Amino acid sequence: MTEFDRELFQMARQERYPMPEEMAQSLERCLNTLPDRKPETKRQAPKSRSISWYAVAGRAAAVLLVLFLILPNVSRQAAYAMQEIPVLGALVQVITLRQYDYQEGNNTWSIAVPQVQSDEEGLQEAARAVNASVEELTQTILDELESQKEEGYSDYEVTYDVVTNSDRWFTLKLTLCQIMGSGSVEYRFYHIDKQTGQVVTLGDLLDQAQLDAVSQEIKDQMRSRMEEDPDQIYWLEYEDIPEWNFTGIDGEQNFYFDEAGRLVIAFNEYEVAPGSMGCPEFTIPSEIYRLPE
């Protein structure tokens, strides 16, 4: 490890938010494997181009390791700065546009507002549409919390995740967690079809016959789960309050595609089952539906 490598390592070590020890050890091992650069005298023959490029590539890898694994995780400024680098911009799909944190008395709010970004011209309109919808939703939540904060206790959190980012699909999930009384969890999914550059709903992908087939598959899975585990409960044939019973999905149903490309139907808490069941999900076999080409 050369003096340059040591300085680079120490700079990362001295960040305001230090890197995890395990990551620091991994970086140090990486740097220690790099060849030392010995000073050349005038009598030494120039080294071959292959050796020179090997050393350069090794140090470039170390620098990229710092950029991608350390700085974005310990420095918000670094994470924002990466968006401005053209080569790296396409790798960073979502940033936190704004973060609202409020705590006073019995009121605690933490609202993250994500923004989808893309360097692909054909996806930028869809990204803007998703961002506008997210902005509208989070502003509505903030306005409601602000109007109710004098009434007493409120605890609300909005977080987000990128659940799918495949060759075809990009899906952003917002989790709305409200702790008032018994509390509740609600999901909002936003999907971009990269092939068409459009924001899509389930109704854009499946016709009514396919929606009905998926609904029947969900009912079958509910029955199977309850037969296998008596602790699993779904409102399927609930006689006491029949209006709670699950009858089927529509075109606005929450969904996403998992890493294997399979359709997953996602329900909010209390939507099809008691709160003890959380937010149930059902993976749908591919032979039951057919996506547009």
Q: Is 5 helix (H, G, I), strand (E, B) or coil?
A: helix
pLDDT at residue 63 tops 80:
no
pLDDT tens for each residue of 191-215: 999 999 999 999 999 999 999 999 9
SS3 of residue 54 by DSSP: helix
Residue 179 has a pLDDT of 78
Contact 177, 185 (CB under 8 A): yes
Q: Which residue has the higher pLDDT, 227 or 88?
A: 227
- Give the domain 203-288 fold: Actin; Chain A, domain 4 (3.90.640)
Q: What is the pLDDT of residues 73-116, one digit of tens each?
A: 434 444 444 444 333 333 337 999 999 999 988 889 999 999 99
**242-282, pLDDT tens digit by residue?**
888 999 999 999 999 998 899 999 999 999 999 889 999 99
Structure token pair of residue 232: 């699993």
Query: What are the boundaries of each domain within the chain?
Result: 3-82, 93-200, 203-288
Share of the chain above pLDDT 90, in %: 50
What value does the mean pLDDT of the chain take? 77
Distance CA 270, CA 224 (A): 20
The architecture CATH gives domain 93-200: 2-Layer Sandwich (3.30)
Q: How far apart are CA 137 and CA 209, in angstroms?
A: 31
Summarised one tens digit per residue, pLDDT across range 105-150 is 888 999 999 999 998 888 999 999 999 999 999 999 999 998 888 7
Give the pLDDT band (50/70/90) at residue 15: very low
Give the tens place of pLDDT for each residue, 43-58.
Answer: 444 343 343 444 444 5
pLDDT range class, residue 29, cuts 50, 70, 90:
low
**Do 200 and 130 contact (CB within 8 A), yes or no?**
no
